[in-house]
Chains A and B, each alone.
Chain A
Amino acid sequence: MSFLRRNLPSMLVMGIPLMWIALFMLLPYGIIVTYSFWLKKYPTFIPAFQFGNYVTIFTDPQYVRVFLRTLKISVLVSAASFLLAYPFAYYLVFRCRSVALRTWLYMAVIAPLWVSYLLRAYIWKTILGTEGVLNSFLMSLGIIDEPSSLFLYNQFAMVVTLTYIFIPFMVMPIYTALEKIPTNLTEASADLGMGPWRSFWTVTLPLSLPGVAAGFTLTFCLSFGDFIAPFLVGGPDGNLIANVIATQFGAALNWPLGSALAIVMLVVVLTIVSLSDRMERKGMTGGV
């Protein structure tokens, strides 16, 4: 009893996270892995141990095609987020002199995270639509004569929407990384005769790479698993891997194939995460 009482706190401290991992990670993943070996058989599916679902994924071109498309969209979203977020974070940390303005601008990026995801995706429909805000604007400027249907229901719209939705996850880590760089390093670089561009290339950018890597990982993984944007703003060629998985669990009633797809997707995401983790560590030990 006294043993229990003495050790209870430490058991709780260790036990809760372990329970959490077992309950919310190992168990569900274990179930998905198990399903991925099962066999589709009308009306549902039956327990089995076979690799047919994985074979299907890699031999039927439709799955490879969707995987590649999802990869392309995710990379584009990460790149677009990076190109927009880096100058913005740089300005906030090094150029913005007013603390109040900096706080406001930072909040302006973060605040949309508190608005429902669905709403934020929906907004782009009204902006990009044939009778939407963008078309009316371009027509009022006389740039186009009649509304263009090129903005909505295609991969461009998906990249725009996902970039808008996930860009805070790029700004935050980059901002944090830049903020940690002591200003005396760039000053030292300037003292040694480096111009501002070379100081940026050789000092600031390398030191901020861990933040960039974290931002890429977050935006990439979030886009990789998205299935709302294709549904709302994507066109006929907008099916992503998460939509295919949803179809397998719903319409097709093929949970085994859906599970196998989910496992392949998990492997891709974990690979990206471990690569970026390695890169971050390298950045932290100054091995760049």
Chain B
Amino acid sequence: MTIKKTMLGTLGLLSLTASPVLAEGTINVLTWEGYADPSFISKFEETSGCQVNATYVGSNDDFAPKLMAGGGVYDLITPSIDTTKLMIDLDFVEPLDTTKIEGWNDIYPKFLALDGIQKDGAYYGMPYVWGAIAFMYRDDAFETPPTSIADLWREDLKGKISLWDDKSAIYVAARKNGDMNIYSLTDEQIAAAQKSLVEQKPLIRKYWATAGELVDLYKAGEVVISNTWAGYQSSLLADEGIKVTEFIPTEGAEGWMDSWMIVKGSPNQECAYKFLNMQLSEQGQCGVANVNGYSVANAAAAKSCMSPEQFKTLHQDDPDYLDSLLIWQPLGDRFEAYTNAWNAVKAQ
């Protein structure tokens, strides 16, 4: 009897700890904060009968290690366009049946043309949201607004500068050095970027690792200029009453785009496609735009569910803006050279 009780207890404990639960009609998504926000997911759960469990990542580097640790847990993921190719090459995701996705043809052609989400003529990712890695400054710290990446190397701003703790720091430094081919840098160009970043290091207050950390740094008065995920941190800071302005430097900005991908062998195909359809519809597109302040991939849905102001603010009406961004590209086997250079900067 007691043994039975103990066993039952253990089982109970196991079921408590062994989440997320794999039940039919439940999809587990590994995604960014805001992409499965209750403000629009709750309605989806009611109408579709599919339960959504969301786990959040802090960086694109979290997807591969999480999926490498063993499959069968997550059904859907949302890596950015520099990581989607890696997911395909790692054989973690499966091709999409685009005929099952309504509104597929309303996606900006520029995104559908991207190499990172396809292989052998099949699509593996459904473009979802996009934005710029803009730069940002605190209004009260500047009399003349900064306009260039070089402003992050200014001596008089020593101890007030922050930069994203990411390999993209190499992209920033390369552009400062006049190398605009940031996704196909030569070893010499990477070394030059590394040197610039080492020179900048004494001026840096802190490299920011998460969105919340950057917000805290501005809030606590620690930094006045940095790069940022356009639309996101600035709106969080606005909520706190701190006035910041985003800008695209004269050296241009990188652009990112996140896609939904179905994890290979996901048993919940039906719910997965229902979910994709919802995310690409007005419900999902305006849902995420309202929560995160990102621009969306479905031009038609954006037009019908956004106010004219929001439509303009998010650059949905402005193809030139999108064209001006240097959209992230998979680095393939050059990836290591970039991360190694960035790690060397941090080790300095």
Residues of A in contact with B (beta carbons under 8 Å apart):
40, 42-44, 60, 62-63, 65-66, 129-132, 147, 149, 152-153, 231, 235-237, 239, 243-244, 247, 249-254
| With A42-B335, A149-B205 as contacts: A237 and B348 at CB distance below 8 Å | yes
B347 in complex: contacting residue of A42, A44, A239, CB < 8 Å: A239
Interface size on B, residues (CB 8 A): 32
CA distance A147 to B222 in the complex (A): 11
Residue of A nearest to B87 (CB): A43
B312-348: which residues lie under 8 A (CB-CB) from chain A?
A: 332-333, 335-336, 339-340, 343-344, 346-348
B115 at the interface (CB under 8 A from A): no
Please name all residues of chain B whose beta carbon is closer than 8 Å to the beta carbon of A252 when the two chains form the complex.
336, 339-340, 343
Q: List 24 A-B contacts (CB under 8 A).
A: A42-B332, A43-B86, A65-B347, A130-B221, A130-B222, A131-B220, A149-B159, A149-B222, A152-B222, A153-B222, A235-B205, A235-B206, A236-B204, A237-B201, A244-B343, A249-B65, A250-B61, A251-B61, A251-B166, A251-B167, A251-B339, A252-B343, A253-B61, A253-B65
B181 within 8 A of A: no
Bound form: Cα–Cα A33–B216 in Å: 40
**Residue from the list A129, A130, A236 in contact with B346, Cβ < 8 A:** A236
B186 within 8 A of A: no
Q: Is the interface of B mostly helix, strand, loop or mixed?
A: helix
| Given A131-B221, A231-B209, A252-B340, 6 additional A-B pairs, CB 8 A | A42-B89, A130-B222, A132-B220, A149-B159, A236-B204, A252-B336
* B191 smallest CB distance to A (angstroms): 13
- The answer to whether B90 has its CB under 8 Å from any CB of chain A is yes
With both beta carbons as reference points, the residue of chain B lying nearest to A40 in the complex is identified as B336
Instruction: Kindly identify which residue among A65, A243, A251 contacts B59, using a CB–CB cutoff of 8 Å.
Output: A251
Compute how far the CA of A147 lies from the CA of B220 in the bound complex, rounded to whole angstroms. Answer: 12
The yes or no answer to B21 lying at the interface (CB within 8 A) is no
Smallest CB-CB A-B distances: 9 pairs: A62-B347, A251-B61, A43-B89, A236-B204, A42-B333, A250-B61, A62-B344, A252-B339, A239-B346
Chain A residues positioned under 8 Å from B335 (CB to CB): 42, 253
B62 interfacial contact with A, CB 8 Å: yes
Which residues of B line the A interface, CB within 8 A? 59, 61-62, 64-65, 68, 86, 89-90, 159, 166-167, 201, 204-207, 209, 220-222, 332-333, 335-336, 339-340, 343-344, 346-348
CA distance A239 to B333 in the complex (A): 25
A147 to B, closest residue via Cβ: B221
Which residues on A sit within 8 Å (CB–CB) of B222? 129-130, 149, 152-153
Q: B204 touching A235 by the CB < 8 A rule?
A: yes
Q: Who on chain B is nearest to A56 by CB?
A: B340
Q: Please judge, given known A-B contacts A129-B222, A251-B167, whether A153 and B205 are in contact too, CB under 8 Å.
A: yes
Contact A130 B336 (CB under 8 A): no
- Residue in chain A with minimal CB distance to B346: A239
Closest B residue, CB atoms, query A62: B347
* A231 to B348 CA separation, bound complex (whole angstroms): 16
Q: Which A residues lie within 8 Å of B209 (CB)?
A: 231
A60 to B333, CA, bound (A): 20
Q: Among B86, B90, B201, B348, which residue has the most Cβ atoms of chain A within 10 A?
A: B348
The CA of A285 and the CA of B102, in the complex, are separated in Å by 80
With contacts A66-B347, A244-B347, A251-B61 taken as known, whether A130 is within 8 angstroms of B220 at the C-beta atoms is yes
Q: Which residues of A contact B86 (CB under 8 A)?
A: 43, 253
> Are A236 and B201 in touch, CB under 8 angstroms?
yes
- B348 touching A65, Cβ below 8 Å: yes
How far in angstroms is the closest Cβ of chain A from B342?
8
Chain A residues within 8 Å of B61, by CB: 250-251, 253
Residues of A within 8 A of B220 (CB): 129-132
The interface residues of chain B lying within 8 Å CB-to-CB of A147 are: 221
| A231 partner residues in chain B, CB cutoff 8 A | 209
Cα distance, A130 to B64, chains bound together (Å): 37
Contact in complex: A253, B204 (CB < 8 Å): no
Chain B proximity of A247: nearest CB distance (Å): 6
B64 partner residues in chain A, CB cutoff 8 A: 44, 253
Considering only CB atoms, which chain A residue lies closest to B216 in the complex?
A125
Q: Which residues does chain B contribute within 8 Å of A60, judged by CB atoms? A: 344
B343 touching A44, Cβ below 8 Å? no
In the complex, what's the smallest C-beta–C-beta distance from B126 to chain A, in angstroms? 21
**List of A residues within 8 angstroms of B62 by Cβ:** 250
Across the interface, name the chain A residue whose C-beta is closest to B206.
A153
Please give me the residue from chain A that is nearest to B344 by CB atom.
A62
CB distance from B184 to the nearest CB of A (A): 15
CA distance A42 to B332 in the complex (A): 7
* Residues in chain B near residue A152, CB distance under 8 A: 222
